[in-house]
């Protein structure tokens, strides 16, 4: 049986997709200790290792894999440095982690590897970081390395989320499965969160401590009451508009303080999607931002996925929002896992 190690595992979105496809994920590695509970609690048998990729040795990782079986190494290097919000910075040491990941792949020698990241990585500094990543790996994966920018909504995720996916194999040519959904089949916000009980801003839903939303200031409550699904802050009365929107530089940020549409996939869920003022994260019909559970569902986590041990910890919107927003959507992870599963079977290996 093939075994999987997940680098930059976070709360376990990528791992859970592989688990759902029947893979044996033996471990996840991350330098954020808050990932330990959700990763291990929801992915039974997978061990969480609290270490930075800069500190873990290839021989430590190789010791985790099952012997004489295909080794699969997957990961999603921190993508914030390459996001549309931050990729203009001159330097961020997190950029180095992409190259560190390549070096780890070279030294661990997995039979199959996969990386998921934001599309901006491809063009950052005219491709300097990404081209180096690929060039380092090419000699070790002579069958070629598959890469493309895909939209998670084409794979069943109720979210307009473009992602870079990279796959490589020592066994033969590998590629991601073709899209599984046509536009008329896209999962929508209503399909995904429409059955949750309504709550007000600042409330917690009965029976699910994660179905909680942040409170709204009086002016933001008035703003969301005047917001239309899919509309902009231009729908508001003049006296409700933020000072930044009254400047020329703020005119292009139409989705900030927006309300999402119920009959379409959501916008990209970020770490701050539980905040009304950071994007089009207003609930389609209720006067509040998304709850943490709604964020998780739009990321296609199961409705019972737990991110926090409420018996031991208070809920922090910032902390849990980070765990959810940084995750690989589980359904996209499943399709990556299925692609690898079929590839292994083509070359005489079971998953």
Encoded tokens for 35:
């990932």
CA separation for the pair 99, 102 (Å, rounded): 5
Cβ atoms of 161 and 151 closer than 8 Å: yes
Cα–Cα distances (Å) from 335 to 77, 99, 109, 181, in that order, read 19, 25, 23, 12
User: pLDDT at position 53, please?
Assistant: 92
User: pLDDT at position 246, please?
Assistant: 65
Tokens 């992915």 appear where? 43
User: pLDDT at position 89, please?
Assistant: 46
The catalytic residue positions are 79
Best CA proximity match to 282, nearest among 214, 209, 181, 191? 214
Encoded tokens for 291:
């709850």
249 Cβ contact list (under 8 Å, min separation 6): none
User: Sign of dihedral through CA atoms 338, 4, 120, 39?
Assistant: positive
Is the pLDDT at 252 greater than 70, yes or no?
A: no
Best CA proximity match to 116, nearest among 152, 71, 64, 153? 152
Q: How confident is the model at residue 233 (pLDDT cuts 50, 70, 90)?
A: confident
Percent over 70 (pLDDT), the chain = 91
**Domain range list for the chain:** 3-182+329-346
Encoded tokens for 287:
């006067």
299 Cβ contact list (under 8 Å, min separation 6): 13, 157, 159, 269, 324, 325, 327, 329, 330
Best CA proximity match to 118, nearest among 167, 73, 157, 80? 80
Q: For the beta carbon of residue 270, count every other beta carbon within 10 angstroms.
A: 21
pLDDT digits (tens, 9 = 90+) for 62-95: 999 999 899 999 998 875 544 444 444 444 555 6
Best CA proximity match to 31, nearest among 93, 89, 121, 105? 93
Q: For the beta carbon of residue 16, count every other beta carbon within 10 angstroms.
A: 27
Question: H-helix or E-strand containing 129?
Answer: helix 128-137
CA separation for the pair 83, 88 (Å, rounded): 9
Helix (H, G, I), strand (E, B) or coil at 169: strand
Best CA proximity match to 295, nearest among 261, 324, 330, 258? 324
- For residues 261-283, average pLDDT: 96
What is the radius of gyration, based on Cα positions, of the chain? 21
For 3-182+329-346, the fitting CATH number among 3.40.50.20, 3.20.20.60, 3.40.50.1100, 3.40.50.150 is: 3.40.50.150
Cα–Cα distances (Å) from 267 to 58, 188, 193, 285, 295, in that order, read 38, 11, 14, 16, 11
Is the pLDDT at 332 greater than 50, yes or no?
A: yes
- Tell me what the pLDDT averaged over the chain comes to: 92
pLDDT digits (tens, 9 = 90+) for 98-157: 999 999 999 999 999 999 999 999 987 778 899 999 999 999 999 999 999 999 999 999
Which of 45-54, 253-262, 286-295 shows the lowest mean pLDDT across its residues?
Answer: 253-262
Best CA proximity match to 212, nearest among 331, 310, 329? 310
Is the pLDDT at 350 greater than 80, yes or no?
A: no
- For residues 231-236, average pLDDT: 88
Q: What are phi and psi of 43, to 5 degrees?
A: -130, 75
What is the torsion angle, in degrees rounded to the nearest 10, for the CA atoms of residue 272, residue 163, residue 130 and residue 69?
110
pLDDT digits (tens, 9 = 90+) for 150-183: 999 999 999 999 999 999 999 999 999 999 999 9
């Amino acid at each position: 049986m093939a075994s999987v190690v997940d680098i930059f595992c976070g709360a376990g979105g990528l791992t859970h997709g592989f688990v759902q496809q029947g893979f044996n994920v033996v471990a996840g590695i991350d330098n954020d200790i808050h990932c330990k509970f959700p990763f291990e609690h929801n992915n039974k048998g997978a061990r969480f290792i609290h270490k930075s990729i800069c500190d873990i040795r290839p021989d430590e990782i190789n010791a985790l894999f099952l012997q004489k079986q295909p080794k699969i190494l997957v990961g999603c290097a921190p993508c914030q440095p390459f996001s549309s919000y931050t990729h203009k910075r001159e330097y961020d040491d997190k950029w180095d982690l992409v190259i560190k990941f390549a070096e780890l792949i070279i030294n661990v020698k997995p039979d199959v590897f996969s990386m998921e990241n934001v599309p901006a990585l491809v063009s950052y500094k005219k491709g300097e970081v990404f081209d180096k990543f690929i060039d380092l790996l090419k000699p070790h994966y002579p069958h070629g390395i598959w890469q493309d920018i895909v939209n998670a909504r084409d794979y069943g995720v109720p979210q307009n989320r473009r992602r870079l996916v990279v796959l490589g194999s020592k066994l033969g040519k590998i590629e991601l499965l073709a899209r599984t959904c046509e536009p008329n089949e896209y999962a929508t916000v209503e399909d995904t969160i429409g059955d949750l009980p309504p709550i007000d801003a600042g409330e917690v839903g009965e029976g699910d401590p994660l179905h909680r939303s942040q409170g709204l200031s009086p002016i933001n409550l008035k703003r969301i009451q005047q917001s239309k699904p899919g509309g902009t802050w231009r729908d508001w009365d003049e006296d409700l508009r933020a000072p930044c929107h009254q400047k020329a530089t703020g005119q292009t940020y139409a989705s900030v303080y927006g309300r999402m549409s119920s009959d379409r996939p959501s916008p990209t869920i970020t770490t701050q999607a539980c905040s009304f003022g950071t994007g089009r994260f207003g609930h389609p019909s209720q006067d509040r931002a998304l709850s943490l559970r709604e964020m998780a569902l739009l990321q296609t986590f199961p409705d019972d996925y737990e991110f926090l041990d409420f018996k031991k910890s208070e809920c922090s919107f910032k902390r849990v929002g980070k765990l959810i927003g940084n995750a690989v959507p589980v359904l996209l992870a499943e399709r990556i896992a299925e692609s690898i599963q079929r590839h292994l079977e083509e070359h005489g290996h079971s998953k």
